[in-house]
Structure formats: C-alpha cells, structure tokens
C-alpha cells in the first residue's frame, strides 16, 4: 500500500503546486494580495509565512489545493463590490482581486490550467530530448482469423498510416488510437503495395487486463504488429522538435478526452473507465515501479486532465469563474450575488456527483462492489 501512496502524493504535490502557482504568479504580477497558498485541504501539517505575508502550507488531505486572495470571500467571484470598497483603505484596495480589470482577473483564473498544460509540455519535451521518441512504422505481422480486422479487409504486411484521421507516427500509436477512439467504426488508412487503402473496422469490446494488470474494457480488432523491415526507429529530438511533438501530444490527449466525455454524455461511451483518486493512486504506484520515465509520462497525463477539467464551465472550478466573467463582459456588470450562489449550488452538486461516481468505479475496480 505504501508503494502506491508515496508516488501518488509526489505526483499530486507537483501537479497541484504547478496549477496553484499559475494563479499565484499572475496574482502577484497584477498586485493582488495573496494570504494563503495551500497544497491540500483540511488541517495544516506545516507551513511558513513569506515576507509579503503569504502563508505557504501543506495540509492533510492531498487532493487539491487553493490560493486565497486578500479580502476575497468567494476566492474568485464577487459581485457586491461597494461593500468591499468601504471595508478597506486606499492602499489595501489596490490588493483586492475583485477590483482588478476583467482581463487581469481572467488571466489570473486561467493561469492555473494553463500552467498544467505547460507542465505536460515540459515533461514530454524532457522525455523526447533525453530518452527519445519512437518513430517506428506500424506493420501488420498477423491478422487473426474471423477477427474484425480480417472481416474489414486488413492484410498481413499492410502499413498503418492513419487511424480516425490521425497520422500513425509510431507503432506505439496504434493501440492508443484504437483505445481512445469513440466511434462505432474505426477508420483505417493503410499502405499496401504502394497504394493507400481506406477501411472501416468495427472493433470488439472485451473485458481484459491492461499492461499493469488492471481490469479494463478493450477495443480489439485482432492484429499483431511488428516493426517495418524489423528496424526500430527511436530518436532523441532537439529542443524545437521535442516541443513541437509535445504540443501535438497535449492537443491530442485534450481532444481525445473531450470526445470520450462527449460520448459518455450521449450514451455511446463506456463510463466504467472513469476513475477517481483511488484508481489514480493505484495506477501511479504501479507505473512508478517501472521507472522514472513512465512516472513522468503519467504525471503529464494527470496534469493535462487537471488543467482540462478545471476549464469546464462549472462553478467552483476555474472554468466556472471564467464563465461568470463572460457574463460580466456581455452584461457590463457582474452577476448578482444571489445568481452566483445559485450557480455555485449547481456546481457543488455536479462535482459531488462526479466524485461519487468515480469513487464507485474505483471501488468496483477493487472488487468491493
């Protein structure tokens, strides 16, 4: 159990710190007072005050964090400005988040998720520069009899070029693209005797185990892959190319996640694969046993997920506050405090429901339901 907990805490500390530091950096840049910078929730384990009066602290529940601004009751959103102005002298008013221009407040809020995307790009770039990126073309070595691949017309020695319109740059991309596809039919483009052929394959959904031994539902088409001409092409990239491919990877993961969530909302996706903190902790511990590179890869994926989820237009999340600022821009004034509180109640219900559902899936994964 300790093998799971320690890597999970390290991962969460790094990802949450970067997220909150994004908020903190732009708050300080625009002169907003910061009273608390907390990693975790609940009772403080330890902390210290810096010379500007900010309390930096680590708390007992390592499932998030927050940056608290000077005089800000609702952290980011406040409509009753007149009462606030009367409480503070002119010097203190300069430190109030709520009195900053709309674009500054928006940047401070958006900076947290943006920092998570930047962290992922940095991690992927580090891996591509110092470990390398695989560019081995994917060749089909075997097509299983009566499989979806054989029925669709895939043949031995076909070179897979694209899956669902996404270029296959490496043999490692094939399984990932099949798994992340949300379509009933997966589009394959293959090269056969120097001709490009388009095929549609209906995958089988089977109960299986992933590489870590966890139970998952897999989309299977029935092929075995090999390296083109039996040559592995693993390349260490220069900084520019590493950043380029890292940005592409972050974009791909983001769009794939949105498609997956969209498929769940429309009823066509498999919601059983949604996981919460328990599953993340388990997978983090398993991945950490394989070494630092898989662990950094997982950290990048979690960082992208945290950044993306926080951009959803749900009150209590960064995206909810950005939604309020959108209304403020359109209306020329903030939403009333009563309206904001109504939205916050809806947001709280949605977040608690999602947490309950994800935790239920986690416990099912452990065989407790």
Q: Give first-to-last CA distance, the chain, whole Å.
A: 20
Phi, psi of 180, deg, nearest 5: -85, -10
Catalytic entry in 20, 90, 150, 196: 20
Q: Is the distance from CB of 15 to CB of 302 less than 8 angstroms?
A: yes
**Beta-carbon contacts of residue 271 (< 8 Å; ≥ 6 apart):** 264, 357, 361
**Pairing, β 166-167 against β 159-163:** antiparallel
- C-alpha distances in angstroms, 39 versus 14, 64, 67, 75? 10, 6, 9, 16
Told to judge if 328 belongs to the known catalytic residues of this protein, a careful annotator would answer no
- Token pair of 34 as six digits: 């910061």
Q: What angle do CA 264, 267, 273 make, to 5 degrees?
A: 40
Q: With both helix axes pointing from N to C terminus, report the angle between 102-130 and 292-310 in degrees, rounded to the nearest 10.
A: 160
Which residues are part of the catalytic machinery?
20
């Amino acid at each position: 159990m300790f093998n799971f907990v320690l890597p999970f805490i390290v991962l969460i500390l790094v990802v949450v710190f970067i997220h909150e530091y994004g908020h903190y950096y732009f708050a300080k840049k625009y002169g907003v007072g910061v009273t608390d910078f907390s990693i975790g929730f609940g009772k403080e384990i330890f902390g210290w005050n810096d010379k500007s009066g900010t309390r930096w602290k680590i708390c007992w529940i390592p499932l998030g964090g927050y940056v608290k601004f000077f005089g800000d009751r609702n952290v980011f959103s406040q409509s009753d400005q007149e009462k606030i102005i009367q409480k503070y002298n002119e010097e203190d008013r300069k430190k109030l988040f709520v009195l900053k221009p709309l674009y500054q407040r928006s940047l401070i809020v958006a900076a947290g998720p943006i920092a998570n995307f930047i962290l992922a790009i940095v991690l992927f770039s580090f891996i591509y520069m110092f470990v390398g990126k695989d560019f081995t073309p994917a060749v089909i070595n075997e097509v299983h009899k009566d499989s979806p691949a054989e029925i669709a017309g895939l043949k031995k020695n076909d070179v897979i070029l694209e899956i669902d319109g996404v270029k296959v740059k490496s043999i490692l991309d094939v399984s990932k693209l099949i798994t992340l596809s949300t379509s009933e039919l997966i589009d394959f483009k293959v090269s056969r005797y120097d001709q490009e052929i388009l095929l549609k394959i209906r995958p089988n959904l089977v109960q299986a185990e992933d590489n870590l031994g966890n139970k998952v539902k897999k989309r299977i088409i029935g092929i075995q892959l090999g390296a083109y001409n039996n040559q592995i092409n693993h390349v260490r990239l220069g900084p520019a190319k590493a950043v380029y491919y890292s940005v592409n990877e972050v974009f791909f993961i983001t769009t794939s996640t949105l498609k997956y969530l969209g498929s769940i909302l429309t009823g066509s996706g498999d919601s059983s694969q949604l996981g919460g903190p328990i599953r993340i902790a388990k997978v983090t511990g398993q991945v950490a046993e394989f070494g630092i590179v898989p662990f950094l890869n997982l950290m990048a994926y979690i960082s992208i997920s945290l950044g993306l989820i926080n951009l959803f237009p749900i009150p209590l999340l960064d995206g909810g506050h950005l939604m309020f600022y959108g209304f403020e821009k359109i209306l020329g004034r903030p939403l009333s405090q009563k309206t904001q509180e109504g939205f916050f109640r809806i947001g709280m219900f949605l977040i608690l429901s999602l947490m309950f559902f994800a935790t239920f899936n986690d416990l099912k994964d452990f065989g407790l339901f």
